[in-house]
Structure 1
Amino acid sequence: MKFVDEAFIDVAAGDGGNGCVSFRHEKYKEFGGPNGGDGGRGGHVFAVADASLNTLVDFRFSRRHEAHRGQHGMGSDMFGAAGSDITLKMPVGTIISDAETGDVLWELLTPGETIMIAKGGDGGFGNMRFKSAINRAPRQKTPGWPGERRSLKLELKVLADVGLLGMPNAGKSTLIAAISNARPKIADYPFTTLHPNLGVVRVGPEQSFVVADVPGLIEGAAEGAGLGHQFLRHLQRTRLLLHLVDMAPFDDAVDPVEQARAIALELKKYDRALYEKPRWLVLNKLDMVAPQDRASLVKDFVKRLRYKGPVFEISALTREGLEPLIRAVYQQVRAQQVAEQPPQAEVDPRFAQGDPPA
């Protein structure tokens, strides 16, 4: 299935039905009076967050979405039926903004969350609404109100706790496959990953976190090199970034330190807030380094990079060092989740004991 994380759509709610001018016609009732009913309201357009979806591809080829208009009012005091609503299913994490101004209107962050993105027009009044003591045979009616029409931009930012970052072929796909239920494509050439992959990492009973793997960055991504910055948006909602570094590149001329610096620079160019997120170094492919050379290689790398944060030495292929990494990541994510929870209100001790207030 093609991965699409951006789409433009036009939505139109239904117009309200027109009111009706009608008079009661019945044998032996010479002055039956007005009985024209109101028009029905137009259908609304809703958007719902569907956890089973992970792409906006459905909206790439179906851009126009219209709800039905309301039925016109009728005689015999009959009101028109309301127009049918339509519901658009979107992935969790979709941002809905105005296509013209760019203003963010809504965000779908919770599975099942439903919002109204276009309101149907109200129905018009029939002539029975205008009956009064001095106007016993009104011939007035009002047309239905038009429904809302919007041009919207849909942008998907996946919801993940941890994001994997690194050069192409750094081993991100191998890592997410080793620690989670994700099964991305893995091959020995750059840019194997062409769209984000999500995986759930199980740490223990009721202990898990979600990790996102995005296509690799290269130097010059801000200018469009490689796949550019188009997938970095999916890391903006993460709580922690894991920066994977290939410690055993095939080309001896490649310097892992310079690659790590290039990734940090591209992050800074794209989004300062993303650059300032907690970012841990994960030194991968150490199984390809002689055991007696590992310590000196890692020490030299950290010293030249002038990095002072957590450093993890792993081999995603052999699973060496993954358990300490998973535990540390879970503790960090859990600590941030607790810190983000709103403080609970203090409970009066008398209520806690079941005593009534004074």
Structure 2
Amino acid sequence: MIEVIEEKKHWDEFISSFKESDLYHTFDYHMIAKEDGKPVLLKYSNGEISIGLPLLIRNIPGTPFNDATSVYGYPGPLYKNIPDDFDSNHFKSDLLEYFSSNNIVSVFSRLNPFLPLQNHILQNIGEIDKKGPIVAIDLRKPIDQQRQEFGKRLKGQLNKARRHCTIKKAINDEELQEFIKIYHENMDRVNATSMYYFEDDYFKVLAKSKSFHTETLLAIHNESGEIMGASMFIYKNSVVHYHLSGTKTEYLPLMPTKLLIDEMRIKASQLGLTYFNLGGGLSGTDDSLLRFKSSFSKNMVDFYVWKLIVNPEVYNKMTKESFTINNSDFFPLYRCSNRLVFTSK
């Protein structure tokens, strides 16, 4: 059967029972990133097998129905004692019973590319789609060998940045506030949509959570003493994630972000972490953002999402009644109309 966990104490205890978990599975991150959803951790047990699936339950406006989604990032199910011949039918039956009894029409979750059995666990439960590659630096290689795999142009850019700036960790609220200011300036400059803007509390809770580690690094201009740019990195267990970043406009030619990433790469290697996830392009595309990240490593890891329609009759009815684009890969389709209005502003 499925047990629903909503309290921090029990959530944290269950998450800690798994050998590998990521910051995107934690209670604290779900409370930060929940938006209009209610965080739940679904606990499945069957003999020695244990699975934990974190989700956000959302009401579908104007209806008595709900749907489920995941926090932004790389969550998906945690697992323990999964055999090679794992049969997902019992897990599927319990999941569908929970979803149906809670009027959940559809489920969407981003998956974690560093937890390789997630696809195996979700086999035959809805569908799994590949969305594109992400760039991951293999920190198990010696630090010098990692650098040998950099693009030639990147090495020159890093040498230039090192001549002009020094990297330090943000250690107080004033320095964190400076990072927030630079980040928002960066978002203004690239005309980012509202989903990339966060309240100050978002950054502060990330920085102070004890459920994972947050490193906010600042690039200080050697001549002026001014903060040129800053980046926030987050890690739990073996994987560090490049989370948020910004550069002041006047310092763009010095490319401090690249140096900030390189300094975190070195520190993460020294900490004994396994991978440095730089992420992918926008919406999984092969664009300038992906090319920027791939200059650090040619090691690409596939990123997947999970989609499940629990109630096809209601799903199809709501999709038909909403303003949608035919053949769109947006999921669930009945929320696509909101997305179109949002992105057209």
Measured against the shorter chain, the TM-score band is: under 0.3
Higher relative CO (Cα under 8 Å, sequence separation at least 6) belongs to 2
Bigger strand share: 2
TM-score between both structures, scaled by the size of structure 2: 0.25
Bigger helix share? 2
Q: Structure 1 length normalisation: TM-score?
A: 0.25
